[in-house]
Amino acid sequence: TEVIVVTGHGTVPSAVEAMQQGAFTYLQKPLELAQLRVAVEKASAGVRLRLQNLELNRRLDERFGFEGVVGSSTQMRGVIKRLKRIAPTDATVLIQGATGTGKELVAQAIHQNSPRKKKPFVALNCAALSENILESELFGHIKGAFTDASSDRVGKFEYADGGTLFLDEVGDMPLATQIKLLRVLESGEITRVGSNQPVRVNVRILSATNRNLEDAVEDGSFRSDLYHRLKVVTILIPSLQERSADIPLLIEHFMKQFARRHQKPVKGMSRAARVKLLSFSWPGNVRQLRNVVESMVVVDCDETLDVDDLPAELDPETGHAQAVTPDDVEDNGGVASLVGRPLGEIEKIFIGETLKLAGGNREQTAEMLGIGERTLYRKIKEYKLH
């Protein structure tokens, strides 16, 4: 709803105050009916535009994402479908995936779509802290519990009471802390370091790791009982290379996000720049792509991101992000040496393997191969790659 202020005693301060309070516009009597009609039409147009944007975002979210988890590939559609099922529950969830795949974003999405969404979401990286500090961060401590404990301190469990606690890199948690975490999961109570007074907490636990916890259980570095308590539900986040069909969608998402954030007039990306981004293997996954697109937006001087805006890290000579080569295709598809084969056969292999790499997305396949979509369709038909 928009508010139009009409007054017979207009002053500059009152106009400023009205606008600061959220008024759409400020009109002073006497005024013409036409003037009022124009103001109403503009206000109505603004309301319609906002509603259209909300509806568009809703449709985009239904089709491509889930609270910021963007993806249209087969792999990510499966992940999003699973997230929608488990988010409304109170089950503990173990999120697995390589570094940079977006595990914390997935955890936040689960929280935002759960009955706990109005309560805190608290995250803690278990790999970044020593055993003593980690226990203090998790459970809190009382004054005098150790040398630097000059006052009582509330831990993450108490901060997250009623909400969600996200334990990132839980596979790196020391064994002694694992025992205490297991006790909390079983009893629903924490005890601050240095205290013997239990504190009741109501927290949903989400955890994440880039390690194979089954192997960690086998070698004794992770407790089997805790592992099974944490993995009531498991979510596996694919690497960006495994979900390469999502790269164009992610590029658009990040481009718009950072153009707004940095107030840049960026409206698009050149075909050459897109092809470059599509050709890299992205060892740093979505985080690396996100950082690259943000860098391009920040350094860009016009409305179109181009190859010149690409950061130095994408130079194949640096080894940070290698371009896709015939060897990559061979690794992905089990293709033997191409030397000595007829050109048509090599072309068929490359088109077929690129189609697989793009998850069957023909538009992206055409961009990766540097050919037009009509040419690609003709080649698919010619080589019977349906």
Picking from 103, 72, 108, the residue whose alpha carbon sits closest to that of residue 250 is 72
Domain borders along the chain are 4-64, 74-236, 244-318, 326-382
Q: Does domain 4-64 have CATH number 3.40.50.2300?
A: yes
User: How do residues 8-37 score in pLDDT, each as one tens digit?
Assistant: 766 667 766 766 677 777 677 777 777 778
H or E, element range at 25: strand 25-28
Do 83 and 71 meet the contact criterion of CB atoms below 8 Å apart? no
Between 163 and 1, the more confident residue is 163
User: How do residues 179-201 score in pLDDT, each as one tens digit?
Assistant: 999 999 999 999 998 888 999 99
Token pair of 152 as six digits? 């009582």
Calpha distance 363→254 (Å, rounded): 19
CA angle 330, 336, 338 (to 5 degrees): 90
Residues contacting 267, CB < 8 A, separation 6+: 259, 303, 304
CATH architecture for the domain at 326-382: Orthogonal Bundle (1.10)
pLDDT of residue 114: 93
Residues contacting 124, CB < 8 A, separation 6+: 137, 138, 156, 165, 166, 167, 168
74-236 shares the fold of 4-64: yes
Single-letter amino acid code for the residue at 380: I
User: How do residues 31-87 score in pLDDT, each as one tens digit?
Assistant: 777 777 887 877 787 777 777 666 555 554 544 457 678 888 889 999 999 999 999
Cβ neighbours around 234 below 10 Å, total: 13
User: How do residues 199-225 score in pLDDT, each as one tens digit?
Assistant: 999 999 999 999 999 999 999 999 999
Q: Kindly report the pTM of this predicted structure.
A: 0.68
Token pair 């779509």 is found at: 113
pLDDT of residue 55: 59
For 32-73, the DSSP string reads -HHHHHHHHHHHHHHHHHHHHHHHHHHHHHHHHEETTEE--S
Q: Does domain 244-318 have CATH number 1.10.8.60?
A: yes
- CATH assignment of 74-236? 3.40.50.300
Token pair 């803690």 is found at: 124
Cβ neighbours around 322 below 10 Å, total: 17
